[in-house]
Structure 1
Amino acid sequence: MILLGKRAVITGGSSGIGYEIAAQMGAKGARLVLTGRRPEPLAAAVERLKATGAEVFGVAGDITDGTARAVLLDQAVALLGGVDILVNNAGGVRAGRLEDITEDELRAMIDVDLLSPMLLTRLFLPELRRSGDGLIVNIASGIAQMGVPFYTGYAAAKGGLARFGEALRRELKGEGVHVITVFPGATDTPMMATNKADAGMGFALQPVADVVGSIIAGIEADAFEVVRGGDARKATLDLNRTDPAAIDQRFLDMKPALEAAVSGHSAL
């Protein structure tokens, strides 16, 4: 896909991966609508992007709310004249032992990380079909590829998003709408601020610009997936398929330290 002139809607666009996607898409000439729950950070993000020369608008709202989703679609069409790209980036996480995570927290993760992207995609599909060159980008997680202890709810939600994207890509094949699923590892964003795990525990923070650079390259190449982590990540995923007990042992060896490091990780 050539991004010049494309009309993109990006959820969770106020900071982190969403903001950087907007910045890099805007630099390539895409026209943008960003959404986020909090009006003030969203407005600040829009102003920073406008200062770079990007054409960008903000529509504040909570994507878990049906009315807000409908407003986002209406405003995006009014502001951009249509939609070519939907980036389902907004997400939330709460780590810790399953029995220590409340029902409300589990429901919130499923809602923002899985159900809301599905509902938003369903809502936007007629516009994406009208584009004739439509694209859905789902930001999953490396944890969607391999379960990590103390991230049970997050793994369930992001794993669901990954399979949703794969199934939808096949459902839409030949209809002018492509689907890409992104599997970033730990990324240096505000969402990771309360995670204290280090590289030795598998949480080496990657620069957000590098992560998003890979996403943009995947979009331009019409990729099916974008997987961060290179050969080391591939080797771990291969081992998880061929000898999952070895991965279990790795986590067992670090389990007390990992639990202590991630149990305060919360961004909902």
Structure 2
Amino acid sequence: MFQLDGKVALITGAIYGIGFEIAQALAKAGATIVFNSSKQSSVDQGLASYQKAGIKTHGYVCDVTDENAVKKMINQIESEVGTIDILVNNAGIIKRIPMLDMSAEDFRKVVDVDLTGPFIVSKAVLPSMIEKGQGKIINICSMMSELGRETVASYAAAKGGLKMLTKNICSEFGSANIQCNGIGPGYIATPQTAPLRERQQDGSRHPFDQFIVSKTPAGRWGETSDLAGPAVFLASSASDFVNGQILYVDGGILASIGKQPE
């Protein structure tokens, strides 16, 4: 029930990190992988990385916030690869700026990529899923779909909205045998978070590293590989009666108030 043979999976922005890991997991389960990025150089980088990993992929240049470009890309994918069975809305950005210092333009940019983008791409793939009588949409949410934190007002607003978009797609298209769920990663060890995990000159942990590890019942940062199993589950027939849910892969942070200071 976890096999994806014959399925076409589009993972947006899957050049590296979480998207790349999810794409590899779906490929190993048998899916044909399609990805996009807004720049040709990034697409070329992604194609090289997948080739190195032994995975055949199809890469397209497309900005997920451009509705006409997305429609064109989906039509091209359907013509060249096949209709999309699995969509993973992974493309996203974050701007860590204190709210009082953030411009409305920067706020809108984050919401446009992280929330409007998934709406546009989902809208583009849904007609073929409805016609086929099945489909899987996985939105990459965040713990910030539930929590707030300083400097991430736009990101938290977008990811909170993405949680509710997930539930609404479920409500509107569940009767068409389309399941829309989300994955909410916790703090994941990626190249982007590496500076926050570097040892200090005296050998101690970075203060933010200490903070995250102390807040996480698992006592560690997550690895991108921790997201592979949940992604395959939500993309496969194993989750055919799971709809409108957010699966938080966070080592237990959202379940815990944290440790008492010693």
The interval holding the TM-score normalised by the smaller chain is 0.7 to 0.9
**Structure 1 counterpart of 2:30, which letter?**
G
Q: 1:53 to 1:91 in 2, by over 3 A?
A: same
Aligned residues: 239
**Structure 2 counterpart of 1:209, which letter?**
S
Partners of 2:88 and 2:137 within 8 A in 1: yes
Q: SS of the counterpart of 2:256?
A: helix
Structure 2 residue 236 is matched with structure 1 residue 213 = no
Structure 2 residue 242 is matched with structure 1 residue 226 = no
Query: Gapped runs of 5+ residues in structure 2?
Result: 198-207
Q: SS of the counterpart of 1:70?
A: helix
**Structure 1 counterpart of 2:155, which letter?**
Y
Deviation at 1:35, TM superposition (A): 0.3
Q: Which moved more, 1:133-142 or 1:68-77?
A: 68-77
Q: Which moved more, 1:127-136 or 1:29-38?
A: 127-136
Give distance in 2, aligned partners of 1:195 and 1:66. 36
The TM-score, its normalising length taken from structure 2, stands at: 0.82
Deviation at 1:51, TM superposition (A): 4.5
Q: 1:200: which partner in 2? A: 211
Q: Matches of residues 144-163 of structure 1 in structure 2 within 5 Å? A: 144-163=145-164
Q: 1:77 to 1:30 in 2, by over 3 A?
A: same
Q: SS of the counterpart of 1:71?
A: helix
Deviation at 1:24, TM superposition (A): 1.1
Give distance in 2, aligned partners of 1:20 and 1:163. 25
Give distance in 2, aligned partners of 1:148 and 1:207. 22
Q: 2:137: which partner in 1? A: 136
Q: SS of the counterpart of 2:174?
A: coil
Query: Gapped runs of 5+ residues in structure 1?
Result: 240-249, 254-268
Structure 2 residue 71 is matched with structure 1 residue 70 = yes
Structure 2 residue 256 is matched with structure 1 residue 235 = yes
Give distance in 2, aligned partners of 1:48 and 1:105. 31
Q: 1:113 to 1:185 in 2, by over 3 A?
A: same
Partners of 1:59 and 1:75 within 8 A in 2: no
Identity over aligned residues, as a percent? 28
Deviation at 1:132, TM superposition (A): 2.3
Q: 1:199 to 1:77 in 2, by over 3 A?
A: farther
Q: Matches of residues 68-217 of structure 1 in structure 2 within 5 Å? A: 68-192=69-193, 197-201=208-212, 202=215, 205-217=221-233
Give distance in 2, aligned partners of 1:132 and 1:5. 15
Deviation at 1:190, TM superposition (A): 4.1
CA-to-aligned-CA distance 1:8-65 (integer Å, 9 cap, x gap): 1110111111111111111111011100122223223223324444331000121112
Q: 1:168 to 1:120 in 2, by over 3 A?
A: same
Q: 1:230 to 1:191 in 2, by over 3 A?
A: closer
The TM-score, its normalising length taken from structure 1, stands at: 0.80
Deviation at 1:131, TM superposition (A): 3.0
Q: SS of the counterpart of 1:198?
A: helix
Q: 1:262: which partner in 2? A: none
Partners of 2:226 and 2:249 within 8 A in 1: no
Give distance in 2, aligned partners of 1:132 and 1:191. 39
Q: 1:71 to 1:146 in 2, by over 3 A?
A: same
Structure 2 residue 37 is matched with structure 1 residue 45 = no
Partners of 1:9 and 1:32 within 8 A in 2: yes
Partners of 1:11 and 1:87 within 8 A in 2: yes
Q: 1:67 to 1:233 in 2, by over 3 A?
A: same
**Structure 1 counterpart of 2:107, which letter?**
L
Q: 1:103 to 1:15 in 2, by over 3 A?
A: same
